[in-house]
């Protein structure tokens, strides 16, 4: 049992100016954390207790899934990162530092290099594989926009695990085990979450899933199917095949003047063609200077991550400037189309446009559009040379790629990420083993991250009201708050103390608010810090022989005889577990 008066909880009414999201505001107000510098926070005792509860749950599930805990250093030598190729590639998020001998180091944003270096020294044979190593450790990423408190800090706690295998099937099995362990973690935390397929991007791993705690304030939009459970983030989400439209050949191609009409809405209004009858043509350039022409249906938005992934060699794509647009279309921006382009470009076409017949598009000529365009008849050159891909953002109402039912878009906070890495690091760093046939091969790896601080922030985003945090019991810094309402009255003060002590002896985490403060202050603080079960001892109700019990979630009070309070509280806690 812990006494508030001799512990360290400092609540405040003030909302810090930089706290944009509710979890950040409430954490600061409840005295869970204090900012030290942008994206760098101290974990105050109340916050640390919640973090420890989460870390206990994570350790329990990781251990149960066969992972082995170790601890790796925060500071890592540059040489390892040069070996993996990431010293150059990682960019400014990597905090680089020098020691007194002018040797280069970084503050680790992740630990693939260090763990691969450990393993390549120790493990030589397929007989020693597989295994899965994990740690809970402080990372540093020099985020361009640290914000939302623990949600996107620069220094933060992460559970990261790395598995090593002789064969892909073995990686698959561990990946499944990690997926299941993560589900158990978030279920044990009593959080609402979804698991989505994630983009593996340029790292080129074969499979990746993100665990998202759903919350209206989430940074990422995820697509999910209420009918079959399919889920994917918006960079990855697909939809069922596009329906074919109009089998008959359209009337002959026509050029129509469209002076000054460069937007889909304007063109659509002028031509009387709905947006889904238009083909939108976007022109990008890579940083090597190649042009990329992409077409999508007029009513759909191109997804730049999908687009980027479609052009693996390009380091970076950006919308082409006006002069480059003229170079390939011969027209000012806004009149581009797939018919009659005048130069070499990488051609990409979204699947939404494949079945379109008789569509409208830019004429590659100032102030003109084409109507009645048919791919085979009028735009065969483009249609033949283009790669047909999924390039658009899938949204609300699109049919599910698995079951065809309507997809929904929800917002979420990415709290965990599991990834099949393959041999990307082991090959670059010569982390090899001898297989059964005696041949030397790179190990196959998986990695599994879970944000500790971010998960707690997400828990608050999902569980709060206007007055404060409503902790799910498994993450609450204390399970029960005993409020000694009239601490100057010796009899009720003793009863509060006795109740808190005996609950503590029964193994519960109990906080006793024994401060000499007005009831109003105590109730406000109690609501703010969000302990799930509350017992109020004192005042009129105590004079009448009872103690008032309530849950933070609904705050409905029940008066129970003093002698029954303990049993009732144990029962309430049990029901919230
Ligand atoms: P994001 O897209 O949000 O930047 P990420 O893809 O960089 O995340 P990973 O490298 O997969 O994240 O890290 C694993 C986990 O670490 C994430 O799922 C998240 O929970 C947590 N995490 C990542 N960056 C931060 C951060 N800046 N602050 C707090 N937690 C973080
Ligand atoms: Mg990141």
Q: Other CB atoms closer than 10 Å to residue 238's CB: what's the count?
A: 18
Question: What is the whole-number distance in angstroms between the Cα of residue 66 and the centre of ligand 1?
Answer: 24
- The residue whose CA is least distant from atom 16 of ligand 1 is 451
- The residue whose CA is least distant from atom 26 of ligand 1 is 152
CA distance 380 to 376: 5
DSSP 430-458: T-EEE-TTS-EEEPEEEEEEEEHHHHHHH
Place of tokens 């009239």: 486
* Cβ contact 25:528 at 8 Å: no
Nearest listed ligand to the Cα of residue 451: 1
Task: Give one word for 190, left, alpha or beta, with left for phi > 0 and alpha for psi -120 to 50.
Answer: left
* Cβ contact 152:32 at 8 Å: no
Question: What is the whole-number distance in angstroms between the Cα of residue 486 and the centre of ligand 2?
Answer: 49
Nearest listed ligand to the Cα of residue 146: 1
Q: For position 206, what pLDDT does the model report?
A: 75
Question: What is the whole-number distance in angstroms between the Cα of residue 156 and the centre of ligand 1?
Answer: 9
Secondary structure of 475-521 in HEC code, one letter for each residue: HCCCCEEEEECCCCCHHHHHHHHHHHHHHHHCCCCEEEECCCCCHHH
Q: Smallest Cα–Cα separation from 238: which of 198, 286, 209, 195?
A: 198
Three-state secondary structure call for residue 517: coil
Pocket residues: Cβ below 6 A from ligand 1: 110, 141, 143, 152-153, 156, 158, 414-417, 449, 451, 453-454
- The residue whose CA is least distant from atom 18 of ligand 1 is 416
- Please, where are the H alpha helices in 330-450? 375-378, 380-385, 424-428
DSSP 221-250: EEEE-TTT--EEETTT---SPPPP---SPP
Q: Determine the Cα angle at 300 with ends 299 and 305, to 5°.
A: 165
Nearest listed ligand to the Cα of residue 109: 1
Question: What is the whole-number distance in angstroms between the Cα of residue 93 and the centre of ligand 2?
Answer: 9
CA distance 455 to 548: 32
CA distance 151 to 149: 5
Tell how far CA 562 is from the center of its chain: 46
Tokens encoding 476: 């609450």
Question: What is the whole-number distance in angstroms between the Cα of residue 553 and the centre of ligand 1?
Answer: 30
CA distance 181 to 183: 5
CA distance 472 to 474: 6
Which run of H or of E encompasses 196?
Answer: strand 193-197
Question: What is the whole-number distance in angstroms between the Cα of residue 123 and the centre of ligand 2?
Answer: 31
Question: What is the whole-number distance in angstroms between the Cα of residue 137 and the centre of ligand 1?
Answer: 13
Place of tokens 């599930």: 61
Question: What is the whole-number distance in angstroms between the Cα of residue 307 and the centre of ligand 1?
Answer: 23
DSSP state of 503: H
Q: Smallest Cα–Cα separation from 469: which of 20, 30, 11, 13?
A: 30
Strands 95-98 and 104-107: antiparallel
* Cβ contact 250:374 at 8 Å: yes
The CA R_g of the chain, rounded to the nearest whole Å, is 30
* Cβ contact 324:378 at 8 Å: no
Nearest listed ligand to the Cα of residue 452: 1
The domains located in the chain, with CATH, are: 14-192+430-460 (3.30.930.10), 254-389 (3.90.960.10), 478-576 (3.40.50.800)
Place of tokens 């209420």: 226
Q: For position 478, what pLDDT does the model report?
A: 98
Q: Which atom of ligand 1 is nearest to the CA of 416?
A: 18
Strands 2-3 and 510-513: parallel
Q: For position 246, what pLDDT does the model report?
A: 65
Place of tokens 């954390």: 33
- The residue whose CA is least distant from atom 23 of ligand 1 is 451
* Cβ contact 202:445 at 8 Å: no
**How many angstroms separate the first and last alpha carbons of the chain?**
19
* Cβ contact 94:109 at 8 Å: yes
Q: For position 218, what pLDDT does the model report?
A: 87
Residue 400 burial (CB < 10 Å; 0-12/13-18/19+)? buried
Tokens encoding 474: 């498994």
CA distance 33 to 477: 13
Beta bridge partners of 349: 295, 388
Best probe residue, ligand 1, of 160, 220, 236, 417 (max atoms within 8 Å of C-beta): 417
Best probe residue, ligand 1, of 109, 155, 451 (max atoms within 8 Å of C-beta): 451
Question: What is the whole-number distance in angstroms between the Cα of residue 278 and the centre of ligand 1?
Answer: 39
Q: Determine the Cα angle at 400 with ends 397 and 404, to 5°.
A: 100
Tens of pLDDT along the chain (577 residues)? 999 999 999 999 999 999 999 999 999 999 999 999 999 999 999 999 999 999 999 999 999 999 999 999 999 999 999 999 999 999 999 999 999 999 999 999 999 999 999 999 999 999 999 999 999 999 999 999 999 999 999 999 999 999 999 999 999 999 999 999 999 999 999 999 999 988 776 555 678 999 999 998 888 889 999 999 898 888 889 999 988 766 688 999 999 999 999 999 999 999 999 999 999 999 999 988 999 999 999 999 999 989 988 887 656 899 999 999 999 999 999 999 999 999 899 999 999 999 999 999 999 999 999 999 999 999 999 999 999 999 999 999 999 999 999 999 999 999 999 999 999 999 999 999 999 999 999 999 999 999 999 999 999 999 999 999 999 999 999 999 999 999 999 999 999 999 999 999 999 999 999 999 999 999 999 999 999 999 999 999 999 999 999 999 999 999 999 999 999 999 999 999 9
């Amino acid at each position: 049992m812990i006494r508030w008066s001799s512990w360290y909880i400092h609540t405040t009414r003030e909302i810090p100016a930089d706290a944009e999201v509710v979890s950040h505001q409430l954490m600061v107000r409840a005295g869970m954390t204090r900012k030290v510098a942008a994206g760098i926070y101290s974990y105050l005792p109340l916050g640390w207790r919640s973090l420890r509860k989460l870390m206990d749950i994570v350790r329990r599930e990781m251990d149960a899934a066969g992972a082995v805990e170790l601890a790796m250093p925060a500071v890592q030598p540059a040489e390892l990162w040069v070996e993996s190729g990431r010293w150059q590639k990682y960019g400014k998020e990597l905090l680089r530092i020098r020691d007194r001998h002018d040797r280069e180091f970084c503050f680790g944003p992740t630990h693939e290099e260090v763990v691969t270096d450990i393993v390549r020294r120790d493990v030589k044979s397929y007989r020693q594989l597989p295994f899965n190593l994990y740690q809970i450790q402080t990372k540093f990423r020099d985020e361009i926009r640290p914000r939302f408190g623990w949600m996107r800090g620069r220094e933060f706690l992460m559970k990261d695990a790395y598995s090593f295998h002789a064969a892909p099937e073995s990686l698959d099995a561990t990946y499944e085990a990690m997926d299941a362990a993560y589900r158990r973690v978030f279920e044990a935390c009593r959080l609402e979450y979804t698991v989505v397929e994630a983009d593996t991007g340029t790292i080129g791993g074969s499979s990746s899933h993100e665990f998202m705690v759903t919350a209206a304030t989430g940074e990422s939009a995820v697509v999910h199917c209420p009918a079959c459970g399919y889920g994917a983030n918006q960079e990855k989400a697909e939809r069922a095949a596009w329906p074919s439209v109009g089998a008959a050949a359209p009337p002959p191609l026509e050029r129509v003047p469209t002076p000054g009409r460069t937007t889909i809405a304007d063109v659509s209004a002028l031509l009387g063609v709905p947006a889904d009858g238009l083909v939108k043509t976007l022109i990008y350039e890579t940083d090597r200077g190649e042009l990329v022409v992409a077409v999508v249906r007029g009513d759909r938005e191109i997804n730049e991550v999908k687009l980027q992934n479609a052009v693996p060699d390009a380091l970076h794509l950006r919308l082409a400037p006006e002069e480059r647009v003229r170079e390939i279309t011969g027209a000012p921006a806004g009149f581009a189309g797939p018919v009659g382009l005048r130069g070499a470009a990488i051609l990409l076409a979204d699947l939404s446009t494949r079945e379109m017949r008789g569509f409208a598009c830019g004429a590659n000529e100032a102030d003109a559009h084409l109507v009645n365009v048919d791919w085979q008849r009028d735009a065969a050159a483009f249609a033949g040379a283009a790669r047909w891909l999924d390039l658009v953002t899938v949204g609300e109402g699109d049919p599910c790629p698995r079951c065809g039912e309507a997809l929904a878009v929800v917002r979420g906070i990415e709290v965990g990420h599991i990834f099949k890495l393959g041999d990307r690091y082991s090959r670059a760093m010569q982390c090899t083993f001898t297989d059964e046939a005696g041949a030397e091969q790179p190990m196959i790896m998986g990695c599994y991250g879970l944000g500790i601080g971010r998960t707690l922030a997400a828990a608050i985003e999902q569980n709060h009201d206007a007055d404060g945090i409503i902790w799910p019991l498994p993450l609450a810094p204390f399970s029960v708050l005993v409020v000694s309402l009239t601490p100057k009255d010796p009899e009720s003060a003793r009863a509060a103390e006795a109740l808190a002590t005996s609950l503590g002896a029964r193994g519960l985490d109990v906080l006793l608010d024994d401060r000499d403060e007005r009831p109003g202050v105590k109730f406000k603080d109690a609501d703010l810090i969000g302990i799930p079960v509350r017992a109020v001892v004192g005042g009129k109700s105590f004079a009448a022989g009872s103690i008032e019990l309530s849950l933070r979630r609904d705050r409905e009070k029940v008066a129970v005889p003093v002698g029954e309070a303990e049993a009732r509280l144990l029962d309430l806690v049990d029901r919230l577990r």
